[in-house]
């Protein structure tokens, strides 16, 4: 299935095209963004970081075949994510209650320092597979 998703869609010419992978129940993606995505000079815009965290968390279930929608998103910016910096995003399942999926995500640099974290709450609508 292909999507025009801004974060992970391969068909979106203006998107980030992150290659989000699912392995052993968690998601991950490696990325580096240029100055087209900066807020303050040299720093990736916080909204872009939030979008990446939202997608990396939702894909924990989406890549298993579920359709889900973001209900709540809580982002903590701990350190600046810099333009052209090699970064890694991770998403983890925390819980599922009824049709609500709870997830945790983080973005780290090459040294393992956590740059931003996210907690997400998603409504599971159904399955697409």
pLDDT tens column, 59-88: 999 999 999 999 999 999 999 999 999 999
pLDDT at 2: 53
- CATH number for the domain that contains residue 40: 3.10.129.10
pLDDT at 128: 85
Quote the domain boundaries for residue 100. Answer: 21-127
pLDDT tens column, 8-45: 988 898 999 999 999 999 999 999 999 999 999 999 99
Asked if residue 3 has pLDDT above 80, the reply is no
pLDDT at 129: 67
**DSSP-assigned letters across all residues of the chain:** -----TTT-TT-TTS-----EEETTEEEEEE---GGGBSSTTBB-HHHHHHHHHHHHHHHHHTTTEEEEEEEEEEEE-SPPBTT--EEEEEEEEEEETTEEEEEEEEEETT--EEEEEEEEEEEEEE--
- Total of domains in the chain: 1
Please state the pTM of the whole predicted model. 0.95
Is residue 9 in some structural domain? no
Is residue 123 in some structural domain? yes
């Amino acid at each position: 299935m292909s999507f025009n998703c801004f974060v992970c869609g391969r068909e979106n010419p203006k998107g980030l095209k992150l290659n989000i992978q699912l392995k052993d129940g968690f998601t991950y993606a490696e990325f580096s963004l240029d100055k087209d995505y900066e807020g303050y000079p040299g720093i990736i815009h916080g909204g872009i970081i939030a979008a990446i965290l939202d997608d990396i968390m939702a894909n924990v279930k989406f890549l298993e075949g579920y359709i889900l929608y973001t209900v709540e998103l809580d982002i903590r910016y701990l350190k600046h994510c810099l333009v052209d910096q090699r970064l890694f995003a991770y998403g983890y399942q925390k819980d599922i209650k009824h049709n609500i999926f709870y997830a945790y995500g983080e973005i780290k640099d090459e040294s393992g320092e956590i740059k931003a974290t996210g907690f997400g709450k998603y409504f599971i609508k159904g399955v697409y597979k």
